[in-house]
Amino acid sequence: MHEFTVTPYAVEGDVDYDRLLEQFGADELTDEQIADFPQPVHHLVRRGIFYAGRDVDRFTAAANCGDTVSIVTGIGPSGPMHLGHAYHFYHAKYLQEQTGAYVYIPLSDDEKRFSKELSFDEIHKHARENVRDLVAVGFDPDRTSIVVDTADADVVYPLAAEFATELTPATVEAVYGPPPNVGLGFYPAVQATHLLLPQLVHGPHPTLVPIAVDQDPHVRVCRDLAAKQRYDVEKPAALLSKFLPQLGGSGGKMSSSDDAPSILLTDDRETVREKVLRHAYSGGRSDVEEHREHGGDPSVDVAYQLLFYFFEADDTELERLAADYRSGDLLSGELKRHAADRIADFLEAHQRRRPDGPISEVVEPYRLTDGERDQLSPEVFDDV
């Protein structure tokens, strides 16, 4: 049995997603649950990329009835955004379009200071560029809030301090292991604030947290906290995804620290093509003649897997590509060029929507309003 590690701070080895569910205590999505997602069901759910969760039925039932629902999914601003980040946000945008959900996007700049050897200046430089990419996704600004922990500390910190009183060191260590510093020991209370923020603003309602499976510990701790009777909130539902494959293959996740480079949301067409052609692990044969005779294996071919995950929504076209590859009619280089073109098409459209100008103006429509701040922040020096 091969070994692997999956935590919010490290993913190592070839991940066994079924074993991971046993470790985390989550359930694989059933066909009935998948069918209950807003129609048409997004191919990320239909194809099992989002493959497991907790309490997704409450979210889908409320969404299908037109009731209030929300989505929380964020990013740690430790570098440029890449394809491994993009599909979560585009899926959240799709759900917002289908359901009218409020979307909250936390940027955990404090957590990156605690867990990475980065200064706040470096982290905030990444955060500003991440915000431009988040706005380019196309969320409805009237129903979307971007929250940065240190910039919105007047809201985040008092709530996190309140929630921290309910989290014991033993609870945190049982889920995360011993924290390397007191900052990461406190961070689960901040993450709980992120996940409960929509309900603290809009009242109790089903909240869905669509995240990569390595982030599930944050949801587990928050669900335990939300179950306490003193808080008028529902336990947030988790929707867990597999990792977008690394260009170099294996069962890890795409990361900017891989030996094979990640594809950034700011890469141009030539850069995408060079990265895919040079680095994408091939499921093809060692030479053209052998490939024509025996065919390739799309299940391990990274170019095909990128199409399967996100960049080919048409099931019929995807099946045709797989069949042609298995038969040897489609060569590895041809499949790589096709995938590179589809990715570049997506990125060019994303980049056309990516806003320029002062970051304060870019983010302003997505910041918490004065009314929300007044509702959530303690008025220490107001007369009572």
Task: Identify the architecture of domain 269-353 in CATH.
Answer: Orthogonal Bundle (1.10)
**Whole-number Å distance between alpha carbons of 56 and 360:** 35
Identify residue 25 by its one-letter amino acid code.
G
* Per-residue confidence (pLDDT) for residue 257, from 0 to 100: 46
* Per-residue confidence (pLDDT) for residue 254, from 0 to 100: 53
Residues with Cβ within 8 Å of residue 210, at least 6 apart in sequence: 50, 71, 73, 88, 91, 92, 95, 239, 241
Helix axes 332-353, 120-137, angle to 10 degrees: 90
Q: Are 79 and 126 in contact (CB under 8 A)?
A: yes
* Per-residue confidence (pLDDT) for residue 157, from 0 to 100: 96
Three-state SS annotation for 239-255: EEECCCCCCCCCCCCCC
Q: Above pLDDT 70, what percent of the chain?
A: 95
* Per-residue confidence (pLDDT) for residue 259, from 0 to 100: 59
Helices (DSSP H) in the chain: which residue ranges?
17-24, 31-35, 43-46, 56-64, 83-99, 109-115, 120-137, 153-164, 169-176, 182-202, 216-226, 269-279, 288-294, 302-306, 315-327, 332-353, 359-363, 370-376
Buried b (16+ CB within 10 A) or exposed e, 57-81: ebbbebbeeeebbbbbbbbbbbbbb
Is 90 exceeded by the pLDDT of residue 11?
A: no
* Per-residue confidence (pLDDT) for residue 229, from 0 to 100: 64
Is 70 exceeded by the pLDDT of residue 367?
A: yes
Is 50 exceeded by the pLDDT of residue 178?
A: yes
For 205-240, what is each residue's pLDDT tens digit? 999 999 999 899 999 999 999 988 678 899 999 999
* Per-residue confidence (pLDDT) for residue 32, from 0 to 100: 97
**Whole-number Å distance between alpha carbons of 195 and 156:** 11
DSSP for 82-107 reads BHHHHHHHHHHHHHHHHH--EEEEEE
Is 90 exceeded by the pLDDT of residue 377?
A: no
Backbone angles phi, psi at 33, to 5 degrees: -65, -40
Is 80 exceeded by the pLDDT of residue 161?
A: yes
* Per-residue confidence (pLDDT) for residue 383, from 0 to 100: 67
Cα 185-155-197 angle, rounded to 5 deg:
80
CATH of domain 16-241: 3.40.50.620
Is 60 exceeded by the pLDDT of residue 252?
A: no
And the tokens for 112? Answer: 């990156």
Where in the chain is CATH 3.40.50.620?
16-241
Is 70 exceeded by the pLDDT of residue 121?
A: yes
Query: What average pLDDT does the segment 332-361 reach?
Result: 97
Cα 84-71-254 angle, rounded to 5 deg:
10
Cα torsion at 95, 209, 191, 366 (round to 10°)? 0
Task: Note the pTM of the prediction, 2 decimals.
Answer: 0.94
For 297-316, what is each residue's pLDDT tens digit? 999 999 999 999 999 999 99
Is 80 exceeded by the pLDDT of residue 9?
A: no
Query: pLDDT category, 24, cuts 50, 70, 90?
Result: confident
Q: Above pLDDT 90, what percent of the chain?
A: 81
Where in the chain is CATH 1.10.240.10?
269-353
* Per-residue confidence (pLDDT) for residue 378, from 0 to 100: 82
* Per-residue confidence (pLDDT) for residue 253, from 0 to 100: 53
